[in-house]
Chain A
């Protein structure tokens, strides 16, 4: 499991005492949460999740509504911190946003646990064959290799990724290259069948 590092700025928000205040419906606690999280949530939605800024405002409010309604189900002892759960909700809402224009749209659940597992390939609008293939290939990689590829694709730098995974930057670079080469080689074998759908 990935180390958390020395981050402390949001420890108060992630404390058991604050969670109790939030879960008992204390308005001042929710207001504090909103004050602290608005900017980071907005940046995440507009950044990693590529939501246009005008819609990111709407979506940020949407995320906080969900948090308000469902925070009572969040358990302090579970693997993710409160702030991490909130970002998971934001990620799911952003995915819903991107899917909305697509034919088979259905909303992701905001269950407190296990919100990361998504059925691959159901919602592609163009070139579905290659997207399904890619999702399957990634699923076949080790968890760390998959994370390195995903985070690199989202433009995180190697130093950051290495820090999160508790490895040297050089190691992260080498593993990224190997995983990428593996994908490219697999793509070479795959593209002749998928190319017609590009």
Chain B
């Protein structure tokens, strides 16, 4: 065996982890002190990748701390986002949408059945929601939406809500109240048609994206 062959085998062993390579201060310092800087484009690409991964990790952690109560879809998104320490702009950036879009989804002004399937799938993917969980949240969103409309009208009639300019706290209070009232009623056993169609389209979209982990 000649020197080149031995060297090749050593290098192969190092790269496979079979031959331990001590990465000590001099080796690290060597790489810190030599060579050119990456281009701005490459740096920016890596940083963006890193930021997305950190956001995903934060969302994953936040998901484990969300309670078991089934929230309307938008409120669930909001709750996870806030626990993950993300701003609406962060989420909007990931979805390639505006901050207002995220706000409207969170408040339930837009229900996912009204969204284009790819947009809904983007939300589901980002917040790591399974189809089954999404369906439950859609049902909750529908139920809440009906009640909220009723209560908003009542509140306005009683001068408790002077106009349609709704603050976040008012919205959340209406949501919470609507959910409470909804729980007192028997739920229909069949799935509303809109939700069924929406869930089916979502399932197809996620399959195409290879997100089998969200298909349960």
Report A's interface with B, CB cutoff 8 A.
2-5, 7, 9-10, 34, 37-44, 47-50, 57-58, 60-62, 64-65, 68-69, 80-81, 83-84, 86-88, 90-92, 94-95, 98-99, 102, 108, 116-118, 120-124, 130-132, 134-135, 138, 147, 149-154, 156, 160, 163-164, 180, 183-184, 187-188, 191
> How far, in whole Å, are A117 and B18 apart by their CA atoms in the complex?
9
Q: A164 to chain B: closest CB distance in Å?
A: 4
Chain A neighbourhood of B36, CB < 8 A: 39
Q: Is B46 an interface residue (CB 8 A)?
A: yes
Taking a contact as CB atoms under 8 Å apart, the answer to whether A147 and B22 are in contact is yes
Encode B3-32 as 1/0 by CB contact (under 8 A) with A: 100111111111111111111111111111
| A-B CB contact pairs (8 Å), 14 listed | A5-B29, A50-B11, A57-B42, A61-B53, A80-B24, A83-B28, A83-B29, A84-B24, A87-B23, A95-B17, A116-B20, A130-B9, A131-B13, A138-B13
Q: A2-B25, A40-B32 are in contact. Are A152 and B15 (CB under 8 A)?
A: no
Count how many pairs of residues, one from A and one from B, have CB atoms less than 8 Å apart in the complex.
Answer: 170
Interface of B is mostly: helix
Taking a contact as CB atoms under 8 Å apart, the answer to whether A4 and B25 are in contact is yes
Report B's interface with A, CB cutoff 8 A.
1-3, 6-38, 42-43, 45-47, 49-50, 53-54, 57
> How far, in whole Å, are A128 and B155 apart by their CA atoms in the complex?
77
Taking a contact as CB atoms under 8 Å apart, the answer to whether B7 and A9 are in contact is no
Chain A neighbourhood of B42, CB < 8 A: 42, 57
